[in-house]
Amino acid sequence: MSSEDPVRVGLTALFITALVVAQVTASKLLAFGLPFSLPVAGEALVLPGAALAYALTFFASDCYAELYGRRAATIVVNVGFAMNFVLLALVWSTILAPGLPPAAQPVDPAAFRSVLAASTGIVVASLVAYVVSQNLDVFLFHALRDATDGEMLWLRNVGSTATSQLVDTVIFIGIGFVAFQGVPLSGALSLVVGQYILKLLIAVVDTPLVYAVVRVARRDSQSRPAGT
């Protein structure tokens, strides 16, 4: 498959976009009521606002790993890692740059800084969680692929994502919310449970989409003239 493959470009763009969006939305806590009570979580799933966006990165990386191989997927993961530093540099350069007086600003500078600067601890947590979980996801995905002789795409999609997302969630909540924001252990456990349940559901639901993306990409590759 050539580097001009639109599916390849689209998956890379989805991965990086979802990753960056996750960093700037993570500091808001979401709460979804449940018709029943879960251990630790209770009657509501409480999770960081980044949960959906970050879950999409695993969908994109699993599709990418299936289509283009472990080495190519690892390159995308490492590029995404570098983009976190670009995000930090751009956010802080904007915060520290001189601006009009507060009365002339559409958004109060203090509120602007409060919202965006809160992402710094989140990004630090994400950097650690990201480099561990995404590389683990790629490794497990290909280990399961080798173990099943390339069959059962659903198993490697769900299996690799379920394991790596658990590791990611524990590291991310532990650093970003406990270490940086002082969230108590009980609250942190609730966040871990809420975030992981959502990620696990997404991993199961997105499996047909992974099959669809892989099918479309392979059909497109077979129909494209050689060298294009």
Average pLDDT over residues 181-196: 82
194 in a structural domain: yes
Answer yes or no: is 145 within a domain: yes
Residue 207: predicted pLDDT: 87
Residue 64's pLDDT band (cuts 50, 70, 90): very high
Per-residue model confidence as pLDDT tens digits over 163-183: 988 998 899 888 888 887 788
Can you tell me the distance from the alpha carbon of 48 to that of 50, in angstroms, rounded to the nearest whole number?
Answer: 5
Tally of domains within the chain? 1
Report how far residue 99's alpha carbon sits from residue 143's, in angstroms, rounded to the nearest whole number: 52
Q: Evaluate whether residue 154 is within a structural domain.
A: yes
Q: Which residues pair with 38 in a beta bridge?
A: 42
Range of the domain at 42: 6-223
User: pLDDT averaged over the chain?
Assistant: 84
Q: What is the CATH number of the domain that holds 102?
A: 1.10.1760
Q: Averaging pLDDT over each range in 41-45, 50-54, 114-118, 142-146, which range is the top one?
A: 142-146
pTM equals 0.77
Domain presence at residue 228: no
How far is residue 203's CA from residue 208's CA, in Å, rounded to a whole number? 10
Is residue 64 a part of any domain in this protein? yes
User: Looking at the domain assignment, is residue 72 inside a domain?
Assistant: yes
Spatial CA neighbour of 8 closest among 52, 149, 142, 16: 16
**What is the per-residue pLDDT for 20?**
86
pLDDT level of residue 94 (50, 70, 90 thresholds): very high
Instruction: Note the pLDDT tens digit of each residue in 95-123.
Output: 999 988 988 999 889 888 887 876 667 77
Give the model's pLDDT for residue 119.
62
pLDDT band at 223 (very low <50, low <70, confident <90, very high): low
**How much is the pLDDT for 1?**
47
Q: Return the pLDDT at 54.
A: 81
Which of 171, 177, 175, 137 lies closest to 157, judged by CA?
137
Q: How far apart are alpha carbons 139 and 134 in whole angstroms?
A: 9
* 1 within domain boundaries: no
User: How would residue 67 be classed by pLDDT, with cut points 50, 70 and 90?
Assistant: very high
**74 lies in a domain?**
yes
User: Where residue 46 falls among pLDDT bands split at 50, 70, 90?
Assistant: confident
Residue 14 has pLDDT above 90, yes or no: yes
